Structures are given as structure tokens and as C-alpha cells.
């Protein structure tokens, strides 16, 4: 139980989404600074740095483009912050995936500068959140940092998102799918959200989390079908917003529980390292159904959706053999080295989590074989 009745809600200042919006960056940025520092994903750098330079050419603004070296580590944040200082830029823009976005957030916060976030896929809800995940230089998880300020603008160009690999879009859907289930758990246990030091949830946060689930059920499969055929429809736009804005505001303002705890446990196994955050969260959702003994009608609706969407619902989908030994490794990390599971108002032991992992795997196999 929370020791306070104080509620809190956090969000970016502005969210903009639509086809071709990347081309409007100079118009948006000039209101904040005439000189802009762009931090761009390493493998995207050649294409996007040329595109940025073309956008800023022959304008009253100027830009500097720098590659992100990969990990959101303290040394990389310091390196980028030093480059921003030397450039004299008054605005930072992060372009790319989660780690690049987090480095841009952290470096801008270190310098107390405004920043924009421009994702190149809808694979994560990180763009709208006020936290960053910190790693060591070698890629090991080192903690989560809370930020002093949110993004001034989160800009989603639908045309860029639609050209990203479909796997990224699916992973974002899985991450968003966990939001409403985890929000309900946090509400039941009355545990803190992810705003600042942690507060109770505003009703707005719960409503947003629920809407993310409703839109996925209504438009998720339609959006995948449209993207498979290379077109952007209203359903695609709805799920881009769901994966990014609704899921991001939902998890930050309500909190995470078992699905993300299982993700952390799966990350302990080297064979899962090639899988995306959302893909591991997907199996965590199935584990949550078992752990919380969810009603059959909800389980059936969501399991049919997940299998139709091609999301992981078994351990083998994540290259993990469904052995008791592997389930123990997952459960041990979840219970003994991760606090997220303790949002659950249930008996939490290695044995109860291990049982949920193995039973979830069996449930996923049953749905894949059409025997559920």
C-alpha cells in the first residue's frame, strides 16, 4: 500500500504523428534553438544524417549530426554531452531506437537542454517516458534513471515507421499489450507508478492503459495486414499511437508487474539476447495469465490475438528449452534480483514463479496446436 494519497501524471509536452512529419523538423526546432544537435542510430547514420542536412540546408537554422555508439552507458552519455557542449547547440534531437533515444534524453538532461525524440520504429514505448535504461559499456543492465524533464516534442513519422521491419512493429504491440494488465495489478496492490519518486495513479493513466488494450484488440491485426501489404491505413496510425504514446503514458503513469519481471528473467538466458524487449514481454503476458489465474474468456481472447499476430507464447519461441532448469533460472532472477514482481499482491516465491513459467509454456503450446 502507498503511504500517501498524492497522485501524479507525467507526459511529453507535445506528441506529433503523421506521414512526412520528419521533414518538418526544422520548422519545429527553430522555436527552441537556431542550432540543433542530432544523435542518430549508428547503422541509420548515413541515410538519416544526409536527410537531416538536406532539411536544414538553406534555412536560418543549423545542425550537427553525431552517431550513437550503441549502448546507453555512462561513458557514452558523457561523450555525447561533451560533444553537445562543444557544438553550442540549444536543442538535442534523438533519432532511432531505444538506446539512442535514451542517450539523447540523458545527455540533454545532464545539460538542462530541451530535447525532441524521433523514433524510426514503433517497437517501444520509451519515446514518451521520463526514464532511461542504463547499461555498462559491455551491454549489461546497470539500472534505470529518472529524468528531470520530458521531451518537448515526440515526433512519429508514419512513413518511416511503416518502412521499418515488421518484427519491430509486432514487438511494440506486445509491449503495449502488457500495459493494461500490469496497470490493473498495480491498482490492486496500490504500488507506486514511475513518476519521480513514485506516486499513486491518476484515473487518466488507467484510462489510457485500458484504451491501449482496446485499440490493439480492434486494430492490431488489421494494422499488421496493412503493413504486410506496404500501405498506411487508419488502423496502422492507431497502432503506432498505441505502441508509442498510449503504452508509454500507460506504463509510466501506472507501473509494470509480472510481464516485465519475466522479461528480466528471460534476459538472464544468453539464448534470448537476440530477441527484442517486446518479444520477451509477450511470453511474460502468458505467464501473468497463469500467475494471476486470469478468467478464461480474457485468456482466450488475448491468446488467440497473440498467436494470430505471430507473437511469442512459448519458451521455444524465444529459443529456450522448456526445462525445469531453465524455468528455475528465470524464476530466480525474477524473485531474487528484480523488484518488479513484488507489485503482485500474491504469494511470490521461486516455486510459484517457476510453476507459472512452465504452465504458461504449456498454455502457449496448446494454443499453437489448436488444442486450447
* Known active-site residue 260: yes
Cβ distance 56 to 34 under 8 Å? no
* Known active-site residue 219: no
All 3 cell numbers of residue 320? 529456450
Quote the CA–CA distance of 131 and 195 in Å, as a whole number. 9
Cβ distance 37 to 87 under 8 Å? yes
Please tell me which residue in 260, 273, 317, 332 is annotated as part of the active site. Answer: 260
Quote the CA–CA distance of 323 and 306 in Å, as a whole number. 23
Half-sphere exposure of 26 (CA within 13 A, CB side): 15
Q: Which of 175, 174, 172, 151 shows the shortest CA–CA distance to 161?
A: 172
Please tell me which residue in 277, 300, 332, 351 is annotated as part of the active site. Answer: 277
Please tell me which residue in 263, 273, 317, 332 is annotated as part of the active site. Answer: 263
Please tell me which residue in 102, 175, 219, 317 is annotated as part of the active site. Answer: 175
Catalytic (active-site) positions = 175, 260, 263, 277
Amino acid at each position: 500500500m502507498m503511504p500517501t494519497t498524492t497522485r501524479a501524471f507525467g507526459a511529453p509536452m507535445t506528441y506529433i504523428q503523421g506521414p512526412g512529419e520528419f521533414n518538418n523538423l526544422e520548422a519545429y526546432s527553430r522555436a527552441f534553438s537556431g542550432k540543433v544537435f542530432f544523435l542518430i542510430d549508428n547503422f541509420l547514420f548515413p541515410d538519416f544524417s544526409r536527410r537531416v542536412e538536406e532539411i536544414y540546408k538553406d534555412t536560418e537554422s543549423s545542425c550537427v549530426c553525431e552517431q550513437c555508439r550503441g549502448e546507453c552507458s555512462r561513458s557514452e552519455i558523457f561523450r555525447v554531452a561533451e560533444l553537445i557542449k562543444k557544438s553550442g547547440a540549444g536543442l538535442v534531437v534523438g533519432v532511432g531506437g531505444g538506446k539512442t533515444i535514451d542517450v539523447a534524453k540523458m545527455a540533454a538532461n545532464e545539460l538542462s537542454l530541451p530535447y525532441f525524440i524521433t523514433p524510426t520504429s514503433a517497437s517501444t514505448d520509451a519515446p514518451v517516458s521520463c526514464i532511461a535504461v542504463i547499461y555498462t559499456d559491455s551491454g549489461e543492465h546497470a539500472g534505470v534513471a529518472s529524468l528531470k524533464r520530458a521531451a518537448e516534442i515526440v515526433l512519429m513519422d508514419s512513413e518511416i515507421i511503416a518502412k521499418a521491419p515488421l518484427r519491430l512493429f509486432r514487438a511494440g504491440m506486445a509491449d503495449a499489450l502488457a500495459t493494461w494488465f500490469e496497470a490493473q495489478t498495480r491498482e490492486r496492490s496500490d504500488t507506486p507508478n514511475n513518476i519521480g519518486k513514485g506516486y499513486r495513479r491518476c484515473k487518466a493513466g488507467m484510462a489510457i492503459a485500458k484504451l491501449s488494450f482496446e485499440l490493439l484488440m480492434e486494430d492490431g491485426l488489421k494494422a499488421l495486414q496493412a503493413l504486410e501489404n506496404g500501405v498506411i491505413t487508419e488502423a496502422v496510425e492507431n497502432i503506432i499511437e498505441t505502441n508509442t504514446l498510449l503504452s508509454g503514458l500507460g506504463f509510466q503513469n501506472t507501473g509494470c508487474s509480472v510481464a516485465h519481471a519475466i522479461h528480466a528473467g528471460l534476459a538472464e538466458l544468453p539464448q534470448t539476447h537476440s530477441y527484442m524487449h517486446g518479444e520477451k514481454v509477450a511470453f511474460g503476458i502468458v505467464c501473468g495469465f497463469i500467475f494471476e489465474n486470469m478468467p478464461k474468456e480474457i485468456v482466450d481472447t488475448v491468446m488467440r490475438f497473440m498467436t494470430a499476430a505471430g507473437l511469442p507464447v512459448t519458451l521455444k519461441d524465444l529459443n529456450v528449452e522448456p526445462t525445469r532448469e531453465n524455468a528455475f533460472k528465470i524464476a530466480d532472477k525474477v524473485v531474487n534480483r528484480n523488484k518488479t514482481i513484488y507489485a503482485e499482491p500474491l504469494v511470490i516465491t521461486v516455486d510459484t514463479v517457476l510453476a507459472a513459467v512452465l504452465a504458461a509454456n504449456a498454455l502457449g503450446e496448446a494454443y499453437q496446436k489448436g488444442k486450447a
